[in-house]
Amino acid sequence: MKLYKEFFRYVIPSMFAFALSGLYGIVDGFFLGNEMGDSALAAINIAYPITAFMQALGTGVGMGGAVLYTILKAQQKEKEKAECLAVTLKLLAVLGVLLTPVFVLGNGFFLKLLGASGEILSLGKEYIRWIALGTLFQLLGTGLVPFMRNIGGAMIPMIAMVFGSVLNIGFDYLFIWVFPFGMTGAAIASVMGQVGAFLVSIVYLIRKKERICWKSQKESYLKKILLIGCSPFGLSFAPNLTLILVNLNAITYGGDFAINAYAPISYITFTIMMLLQGVSDGCQPLVSFYYGKGEVKITRKIYILSRNFSLLLGILCFLMLMLWAKPAVEFFGTSEAVTHYVVEILPLFLLGMVFAGLSRSVISFLYASEQNRKAYVMIYGENMVLFVLLLFLPRLFGIHGTWLSIMISQILIALLGQIMVNGEQIRTKGSSSMKI
């Protein structure tokens, strides 16, 4: 019973925090879609992978450092965990400074690679130009959240995300509906949200008096952070790789109408994905801590709890959105034709989300216990499978083949995940191997 309470004490706030993090893109889409129509919504949808890359990079580095920090904490290595925190912060800051000019100067190039053209390209450039200027805060705002969860529990990152989301919504309302700043206003609002989350994290670190050893020069920490971080980075960015592949494919087989239709679908499924990721990332501190202590049975139970709860949550989301599909789509200000079409095809995407929850639980368990190679196979394999399916199914079934490819890739990867963990010997640090 104690483990159940501990599990939900971490997972429930984490779910809420991740759901709020999903609002950064969704809120922009809501305000712009209702104010400027389908083209603005499609522009945000095509441009969002650039924003998501920044945030996923911050999450990857932050989570990589947080996993290592928790393992060192479990082993009571106080100096080493202080050095780990310092190395992570330095890495986030350096990446933010280096990437800012890349995105400021290259935003048009990246948008064209993502398939933007005409009015959508023009609107997307206006949006990303201002997002790029806030690259440093995008990385720090997302990168510090995993540390807050591992240092002080799940409530602090939830507070940070609530504060950031409130700022984002407030500035969206002000800069889009009160003052007609359009895409520029939406971008500034998103950056201000990340600034808010960053400030909460910094204030918490100062008040907590968390020790940070700035003089650390250990390259081994940097290597380990990057190796672990590749998994949460991929996990965070994977939905956007899907978004990129599908947008490019939809342009070919369905034109602008398909792009406009996929925009509200991507927002809806992204929200569900954030909830599911909240479950998997919420249990990460527990997995890493007991892994560091060599507690085999407890680590196994946490994984099973995560898997079962993710499956239940995925089914619940499927049923709810089957009942309220039309209001969910109309929320984004879509035209009548787009709304009608999306309601018809939405069940395919919702079914895929049920299986996506199973995959996320496996992946989180693997990287939290330093099973990095297996995690890489799961994360990056999904988009490789999707890419292969997109080469064939749309040729056979047209644009419907594009939608089917997404669902089938998620089912196949979920099955692969179960094969990888069932009967596999997974070792915890300092312990004998265990079967899942």
Written as six digits, the tokens of 35 are 């104010």
* Each residue's pLDDT tens digit, 127-169: 898 999 989 988 988 888 877 777 766 677 778 878 888 888 8
Say if CB 40 and CB 120 are below 8 A apart: no
Predicted local distance difference test score (pLDDT) of residue 423:
52
How far, in Å, CA of 279 to CA of 273, rounded? 10
Written as six digits, the tokens of 20 are 């709020």
How far, in Å, CA of 95 to CA of 354, rounded? 35
Which percentage of the chain shows pLDDT scores above 70?
A: 93
Predicted local distance difference test score (pLDDT) of residue 154:
66
Instruction: Give the distance, in angstroms, between the CA of residue 135 and the centroid of all CA atoms in the same chain.
Output: 16
Lowest mean pLDDT among 69-83, 231-245, 320-334: 231-245
* Each residue's pLDDT tens digit, 224-273: 888 888 877 877 787 777 777 887 888 788 887 888 888 888 888 888 88
Query: 24 versus 422: which is more confidently predicted?
Result: 422
Written as six digits, the tokens of 290 are 């007991």
Query: 205 versus 65: which is more confidently predicted?
Result: 65
The DSSP secondary structure of 254-283, one letter per residue, reads HHHHHHHHHHHHHHHHHHHHHHHHHHHHHT
Q: What's this model's pTM, rounded to 2 decimal places?
A: 0.69
Lowest mean pLDDT among 139-153, 357-371, 421-435: 421-435
Question: pLDDT band at residue 434, thresholds of 50, 70 and 90?
Answer: very low
| Average confidence (pLDDT) over 40-66 | 84
DSSP H or E run through 317: helix 296-323
Say if CB 277 and CB 413 are below 8 A apart: no
User: SS3 for 427?
Assistant: strand
How far, in Å, CA of 140 to CA of 256, rounded? 35
Say if CB 191 and CB 137 are below 8 A apart: yes
The DSSP secondary structure of 124-145, one letter per residue, reads HHHHHHHHHHTHHHHHHHHHHH
Query: 19 versus 126: which is more confidently predicted?
Result: 126
- Would the pLDDT of 23 be above 70? no
Predicted local distance difference test score (pLDDT) of residue 347:
93
Contacts of residue 216, Cβ cutoff 8 Å, sequence gap at least 6: 82, 83, 84, 86, 87
| Average confidence (pLDDT) over 98-104 | 92
Predicted local distance difference test score (pLDDT) of residue 431:
44
Number of domains in the chain: 1
Predicted local distance difference test score (pLDDT) of residue 271:
82
Predicted local distance difference test score (pLDDT) of residue 430:
44
Q: What are phi and psi of 391, to 5 degrees?
A: -75, -25
* Each residue's pLDDT tens digit, 3-12: 888 888 888 8
Question: pLDDT band at residue 217, thresholds of 50, 70 and 90?
Answer: low
Question: pLDDT band at residue 344, thresholds of 50, 70 and 90?
Answer: very high
Please give the DSSP secondary-structure letter assigned to residue 174.
Answer: I
Question: pLDDT band at residue 429, thresholds of 50, 70 and 90?
Answer: very low
Find tokens 């932050």 and name the residue.
62
Q: Which domain holds residue 406?
A: 2-435
Based on the number of CB atoms within 10 Å of its own CB, is 212 exposed (0-12), middle (13-18) or buried (19 or more)?
middle
Which percentage of the chain shows pLDDT scores above 90?
A: 17
User: SS3 for 332?
Assistant: coil
The CA–CA distances, whole Å, from 166 to 43, 52, 211, 235 equal 23, 19, 30, 26
* Each residue's pLDDT tens digit, 333-343: 778 888 999 99
Mean pLDDT of the chain: 83
Question: pLDDT band at residue 78, thresholds of 50, 70 and 90?
Answer: confident
Predicted local distance difference test score (pLDDT) of residue 218:
62
The DSSP secondary structure of 177-226, one letter per residue, reads IIS--HHHHHHHHHHHHHHHHHHHHHHHHHHHT----TT---HHHHHHHH
Strand partners, 434: 426
Maximum Cα–Cα distance across the chain: 62
Q: What are phi and psi of 77, to 5 degrees?
A: -100, 85
How far, in Å, CA of 226 to CA of 91, rounded? 10
The CA–CA distances, whole Å, from 335 to 181, 261, 330, 379 equal 23, 10, 8, 35
Most confidently predicted of 18-27, 33-42, 374-383: 374-383
User: SS3 for 116?
Assistant: coil
Measured in Å, how far apart are the chain's first and last C-alpha atoms? Answer: 20
- Would the pLDDT of 433 be above 60? no
Query: 70 versus 28: which is more confidently predicted?
Result: 70
Predicted local distance difference test score (pLDDT) of residue 228:
82
